[in-house]
């Protein structure tokens, strides 16, 4: 299993794209698709028309906005260039309503020459090929159903928190994971609402028995602090500060 960070920042960040992650197992799929991540996906050299599934954690704009140019490109490709695989969109409650509106509203989207399936998941597992994925509710915004994902392929396990606060759901999702990519929006000394700071990330990783912690989803304020050191005060495992286009093999 390989993970490529397409975006390690937030909505408007001077040096990082917003949230987005490319996962390669026996299938190629995305977890979140925020602003500027599409251009980073192109930079990886991966054929974006082979992507069959996109998993969304929630629907703040910094986690899904690049779906619109991606889908526009997919429709054009399928109509004028070559065949494109069918696409499955997976997300929390509200996914069918949101993407139903998107597909009906944007010109040409309803006439895509490939099938688009929209699925909502809540605290259950499913498979994409030979890859088993568990979706679990996490705490982030009281007005939104928010998910984290646990991806299992072969003997390796990757967890993606989405946007999350320290909570029981996140601890359960991360239990004994080989690697966890966690929402490190803020430094410990400058915490913000609805997200974890670096100390929280270290605490989750330590309590859940994570082997390797990847810090990601940085707000600009986090760039001015040593978030790796802050997380390391709570976690005695390996810590990596995520960056755009970083690839990690599990």
Between the CA of residue 239 and those of 61, 94, 227, what are the distances in Å? 28, 34, 10
Position 97 pLDDT exceeds 90: yes
Give the largest Cα separation in the chain, rounded. 54
Query: What integer pLDDT is reported at residue 27 of this predicted model?
Result: 96
Position 140 pLDDT exceeds 90: yes
Position 53 pLDDT exceeds 90: yes
Position 111 pLDDT exceeds 90: yes
Mean pLDDT to the nearest integer, 221-230: 97
Q: Delineate the domains of the chain, giving CATH numbers in brackets.
A: 2-249 (3.60.15.10)
Position 224 pLDDT exceeds 90: yes
Mean pLDDT to the nearest integer, 135-157: 96
Query: What integer pLDDT is reported at residue 143 of this predicted model?
Result: 87
Give all strands of the β-sheet with 20-24 in edge-to-edge order: 116-120, 87-91, 53-55, 28-33, 20-24, 2-7, 247-249
Query: What integer pLDDT is reported at residue 229 of this predicted model?
Result: 98
Query: Taking the model in full, what pTM does it have?
Result: 0.96
């Amino acid at each position: 299993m390989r993970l490529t960070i397409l975006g390690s920042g937030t909505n408007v960040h001077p040096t990082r794209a917003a949230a987005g992650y490319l996962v390669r197992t026996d299938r190629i799929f995305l977890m979140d698709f925020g602003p500027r991540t599409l251009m980073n996906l192109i930079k990886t050299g991966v054929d974006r028309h082979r992507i069959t599934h996109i998993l969304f954690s929630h629907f703040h704009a910094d986690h899904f906005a690049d779906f619109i140019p991606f889908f526009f490109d997919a429709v054009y490709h399928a109509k004028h260039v070559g065949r494109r695989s069918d696409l499955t969109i997976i997300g929390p409650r509200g996914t069918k309503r949101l993407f139903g509106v998107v597909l009906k509203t944007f010109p040409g989207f309803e006439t895509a020459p490939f099938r688009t399936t929209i699925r909502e998941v809540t605290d259950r597992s499913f498979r994409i090929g030979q890859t088993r994925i568990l979706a679990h509710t996490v705490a982030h915004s009281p007005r939104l159903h928010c998910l984290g994902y646990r991806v299992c392929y072969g003997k390796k396990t990757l967890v993606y928190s989405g946007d999350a606060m320290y909570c029981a759901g996140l601890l359960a999702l991360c239990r004994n994971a080989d690697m966890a990519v966690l929402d490190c929006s803020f430094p410990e000394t400058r915490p913000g609402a609805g997200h974890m700071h670096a100390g929280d990330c270290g605490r989750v990783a330590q309590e859940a028995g994570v082997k390797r912690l990847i810090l990601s989803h940085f707000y600009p304020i986090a760039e001015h602090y040593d978030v790796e050191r802050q997380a390391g005060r709570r976690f005695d495992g390996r810590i990596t500060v995520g960056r755009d286009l970083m690839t990690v093999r599990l």
